[in-house]
Amino acid sequence: MLTFSRGWLSKTLIPGLALMLIVASFSSPARADDCKRVANILVLFDASGFMKDKWDFFLQQMNFFSQAMPVTADGFFNVGIRHYGLKVGLGCENTESILAIQQWDPERFLNAFPRSVSYGVSSLSAGLRAAGDEAAAAEGKTIIVLIGGGIESCNIDPVKVTDQLCRNNPDLEIHTFQIGNAPEGSFYLRGIAQRSHGTYNRAEDTRSSASWHAWMKRNLVMPCAPSAPQSPDQNRAAIGPVLFDSKSFLVRSNDPAVDVTNLQNLDAVARILRGNPSAKVVLHAFSDAKGNPDFNMKLSRKRAEAVARFLINTYHISSTRISITPHGSSQAMLQTPAASQQPGARRVEFEITYQ
């Protein structure tokens, strides 16, 4: 086992955690009204030969993970660890549990990783099956955090394995973090996340405990109680709109800054809907003043439908909770000629309603 002594913990983890607490208090703190959305976290990681040159990076990621846990909804999650591809000779049935799902203990968590990686095969599918069985047997909702290259050395499709797991356990979520940039790994890890209501992430983008904390806040916690109902105008002003390129009804924009903002606003809407079962959203869609009114009305409807599809397919929001109101260029016509041509006129606004 790779051991982390108490001296190491006191010199490295505790100061890092103290710094994280300070950072979190100014950026994204775990508020008193944040509750756990899930009860258990099972970390499934790649310990095959693919990780030979990436092992130090992986251990650094797990250190960041450990630092972020205590400031995420107080860190009161049960956590387990399972790996695949470690024991040479077990072939395509290669998987083993290192640390069963249990109450969060940072020292046991960090000490549970093997001293080094194997250079044998990596059976991602076998690891998924074992992790799925463990998640199904755990008490309360369990998510799987899959971290690794995403390489499958056996003649099995891990995406199809994920489909089977989700049919047996519809509530299962698998969130993937790709180490490296192997195209096969990206294909599999994206497919696994998509099939299991999870998120696909690049591990290289989570290079700090603050990054892990931000991800945990988005995916592991939710408000403890529905927010108080607001007026329609307040609801529509609370979250920014999705902006569209000219003549386009694609949610993703060619402008990188607009694209990032759009995704952030969609994520914010999804979090509200997930955290408030009685909440619904009305999509108010607009176009700019170019073109004839009939074309603009149809275009604004297509934009609202695109946003609805994104919420349904990406966040699994029920279509019964989404309604559409196209406005065409009606509001753009009330603006100044210059403003009516700006990207802000080509938008979908969100109105959150509560029953």
Q: Does residue 79 register a pLDDT over 90?
A: yes
pLDDT the model gives residue 232 = 47
Strands 279-286 and 322-326: parallel
Minimum mean pLDDT range among 71-80, 85-94, 149-158, 242-251:
85-94
> Domain boundaries in the chain?
6-222, 226-354
> Is residue 188's pLDDT more than 50?
yes
Contact 46, 184 (CB under 8 A): no
pLDDT in tens, 238-269: 688 999 988 889 998 888 888 888 888 998 89
Q: Please name the CATH architecture into which domain 6-222 falls.
A: 3-Layer(aba) Sandwich (3.40)
pTM: 0.58
CA distance between the termini of the chain: 54
CATH code for the part of the protein at 226-354: 3.30.1330.60
- pLDDT tens for residues 216-236? 888 888 766 544 444 444 444
Tell me what pLDDT residue 31 has.
45
d(CA 11, CA 155): 45
DSSP per position, 31-66: -TTEEES-SEEEEEEE-SGGGTTTHHHHHHHHHHHH
Which pLDDT value is given to residue 179? 95
The whole-number pLDDT of residue 91 equals 64
Overall size of the chain counted in residues: 355
Q: What is the reported pLDDT for 22?
A: 32
Enumerate helices (H) and strands (E) in the chain, giving the number of each.
11, 12
Amino acid code (one letter) for 289:
A
In whole angstroms, what is the distance from residue 39 CA to residue 73 CA?
11
Q: What local confidence, expressed as pLDDT, does residue 342 receive?
A: 55
